[in-house]
Chain A
Amino acid sequence: MQMEEQVTQLAVTACPFCGVGCGLVVEGGNAFPLRSHPITQGSLSLRGWSTGELLRSPLRVKSAFARSPNGTKHPIEISEALKLIVERLKELREHYGSEVIGILGSARLTNEENRLIRQLAVALGTPNLDSFQRLGYLPFNSVGLESLEGASSITVLAVDLAHRHPQIFRRVSKALKQGATVRFVDSRKVQLASMATEHIRPTPGQELNALPPTNGDGEVVLISSEIALHGQGAKAVEALQGRQVMFLTDYVNQRGMVDAGIRPFPEGASAYEMLQRTFTGDLKALLVFADDPFEFFPELAKEAFSRLEFVVVVDSVKTEAMKYAHVVLPGALLAEKEGTFTNCEGQVLNLEPVAPPLTGLTEKQILEQLLALLGETPEAGEASPFSVNSTPIEPESPTDERPFVVALDSGTFWNNHALAKASVTVWREMRRPFVDFPNGYVTVNPEDARELGIRMFTPVKMESAEGEITLPANIDERAARGTLLVPMFLWEKVGKALGALQFDTSLKIPVFRPTAVKVVL
């Protein structure tokens, strides 16, 4: 052991999962929360507890790779890889123009790194800059966690807190114990439902119409991407004007990433559109920085990536995209970096490395070298504030002909996440739905199931106005009567089949419009 040097401060890094920004230490290779950390206060989610495991996961990328002409990959020096990338990009740019290049940034990277990614986009002259980890982000001036602790009333708007943001769940249950009123507006019967003072259960997509008026100054509204992913993002920004809101970001640095300018330029394509543009040949190269298009859009990403002429993937852990990559570069985990990130409150928090980067390089250094090789470039400048206008997407309501509404259930949000796959216990938990339901599932309310005469695993055929799909039933009271819940990882498949997958032109993200269906057995 090497404890000789007198340490005066513990190196504190952040949990790399949700956006609350828990601080933790790694002691003896294992992560532990700190009692003295203002956000963590001694608690972590299971994902947070696994942070130490990520440092030595077999899924870590340990060197740079380049694809040989025969399709296999061989390790190369990082400096060689960088030269190769610059050469190839210059070639493509000369041949087709710079707008055939797309760049994906990441909410798993620091603020500084995301600023460099934006700088890279400017240097390459491409307007195509975004990230799949921006999905559902809404620009709110979030209140701080301390106002949650002292709140007399909390309104939770369509968030499965216990699964998605346990650290916030902890504060809400504390507030409940201290006598705060908690109103939970969500169709699902999730953990908060029976604890809350009041559970309001609107049809999915109608949450904003059912939102009770403000309870006065002591009220805080909690909202997450779930509203936006149902196509109600811009409407939510409008409806919550003047209220104290905390937007719970999905990824650790989602807010910082968007603030650093990782979002579509006005003339550029969004992440989803970039993939679509590969079909028309308008996009030929993609630089992926710690993003994973395969996480939620496996079908589209597969088609798109096999069409791309040049793919670069920079990540600390292996992802599906690397299969298609021409060059793979090893990244570093947050725990191996210095820098800052912005949590859901909007606090810019410091990161201290608890371990050295596996290859000695972080994404920051890789980006700096890449920019140096590209030569003199114009300054990127500060990104303008992110704003949204009205949303054109109308959720469908049940009708006599189609009495059920299919909606998205983001309780399984983490189940396909690249970092969740890299840790033993987290991945065991996360892969349960894939093992228990190898053919996917749709969650049906037990009473509905009884009336329909279906049991666990009975194939349920759902017919919308635009299409149909059959999935095995998972009977759980999580689903309200008249709703059918689709897990997040089947978003694309079900959305495409039922015509529910739509594009929100205001937020520039794909959304799942709650869609009315008929159940046929």
Chain B
Amino acid sequence: MEKRWVSEGNLKAILAELAKDGQLIAPVKIGDEVLFRRVNDVEQICPDTEYVNSFIPPKEFVLPARQTLLSYELDNSRITLHALREDLPEQVIFGIRSCDVAGIEYLTKFLSGEMFGRPDLADELFMERRKRLTILSVVCQQPAETCMCVCCEGGPALESGFDWQLTRLERGWLVEVGSEKGWALVERFRQLVPIAPEEAIAEKEERVRQVVSNFHKFSPHRVQTMAASRMLSKGRLEHAFWQKVGERCVECGGCAFVCPTCYCFNVADLPVEQTIEDDGQLVPLVPGAPTKIPTKGRWERTRCRDSCMLAGYVRHAGGIYPRRTTGERCLTRFFHKLSWQFHFRMGRLGCTGCGRCIVTCMGNIGISQVSEEMVEALTGVPAKEREIVLRNA
């Protein structure tokens, strides 16, 4: 596929044009944090050399942590449904990193129903947002301490999933176009994005090679995908292994909330307003033994982010817990992320190597730590030591 090139000034002009339409979402630095926010002025955008990634995952733009699905009015036996049709804006996200792009691709594969070959089962709310999102990703050239995309085919550059993939070069940017939407954008700004010279393509390849090499030399974290996949796919890890991992889980759900590929949610019907006479509990709220069946009022069906690590998430009606302990729930989580079975169905690993779970985990059981413990279980030698041996050899 032919590649394009854009100068720094012209890229700014393109972004300014997109910002004028009120479409542009870009990284903004506020205090010590970088967040993806809607920007009106391109000067607000944090240059890609000054941030690695935002801690708040950009999946929020396609799968918000909380969404209203529908609302209804109860009047004794009559139910009036109100469909919620939001006028979703077209959005362009610039500066998103490859790990998060891979995450959105993963979410799309599942939520579009493609994973089951059932497009009729697509999650409409997600798909509406996804269709309206244009992704202009920027290739990382300096991994952060917790970055591991190299281990998971989640970066630093990708083959697909983006509309444009931009790489900063010595002079200007290389633009790789990954979709029809991307080509339409090229068409729109055709004066500004000429065909890339051969040197630019070579320079990008060299820069990516450099990032990968730096990662291997300096980054402390790894996702030991090979070992993890072997151990998990064949169920070779003992119960005691998972029990030890589970003991460190405080069930905060953080790993799922920040993970670019986690899509689990909880659905609850909430009253728009409860009367003051109610007993100060959300009723009936969640599936399972409602205290009383409501007959009046306006209700909203809401979905909100959820995590497979929570006991309430795995609870079945009747008080049955198929995965009772945190250890068993850890097994499920890591099986979903790293096993061959899921790799086969989804076309990629469930981890894109963003490293957010390493930061957020209260019990130091982020994906790198657990996968390294799997290596230890497989070989009897701690991963860190093994690597040193290999490097010295």
Contacts and interface: CB of A to CB of B under 8 A. Distances in A.
A421 B274 CA distance: 13
Contacts of A57: 282
Chain A interface main SS type: mixed
A427 B285 contact: yes
Interface of B: 28, 30-33, 35, 37-40, 44, 55-56, 60, 64-66, 244, 247-248, 250-254, 257, 266, 268, 270-274, 276-282, 285-286, 288-289, 302, 304-306, 310-312, 315, 319, 356, 359-364
A6 interface: yes
Contact of B276 (A33, A48, A61, A163): A61
Contacts of B268: 424, 428
B274 A45 contact: no
B38 A10 contact: no
A25 to B, nearest CB: 8
The B contact surface, by secondary structure, is: loop
Interface stretch (A128-136, A429-437, A481-489, A506-514): A429-437
B129 to A, nearest CB: 13
Interface string A41-64: 111111011001100011101100
Contacts of B257: 49
A139 B130 CA distance: 54
Contacts, number: 175
Interface residues of A, number: 66
A46 B285 contact: no
A372 interface: no
Contacts of B55: 32-35, 42
A59 B252 contact: no
A436 B244 CA distance: 26
A414 interface: no
A191 B33 contact: no
Contacts of A46: 251-253, 310
B38 A30 contact: no
Interface string A159-198: 0001100110110011001000000000000010011000
Contacts of B56: 27, 32
Nearest to A456: B319
Contacts of B248: 173, 191, 195
A3 B39 CA distance: 7
Contacts of B315: 432
Given A191-B247, A435-B288, A58 B39 contact: no
Contacts of A174: 364
A320 B280 contact: yes
Contacts of A424: 266, 268, 270, 282, 285-286, 302, 304
A27 B281 CA distance: 26
Interface string A105-147: 0000000000000000000000000000000000000000000
B65 A28 contact: yes
Given A28-B60, A194-B247, A425 B37 contact: no
Nearest to B61: A28
A304 interface: no
B40 A3 contact: yes
Nearest to B55: A35
A313 B279 CA distance: 14
A9 interface: yes
Interface string A61-93: 110010000001100000000000000000000
Given A3-B37, A3-B39, A46-B252, A52 B279 contact: no
B119 to A, nearest CB: 28
Contacts of A169: 250, 362-363
B364 A52 contact: no
A328 B277 CA distance: 11
A322 B362 contact: no
A17 to B, nearest CB: 12
A422 interface: yes
Contacts of A167: 362
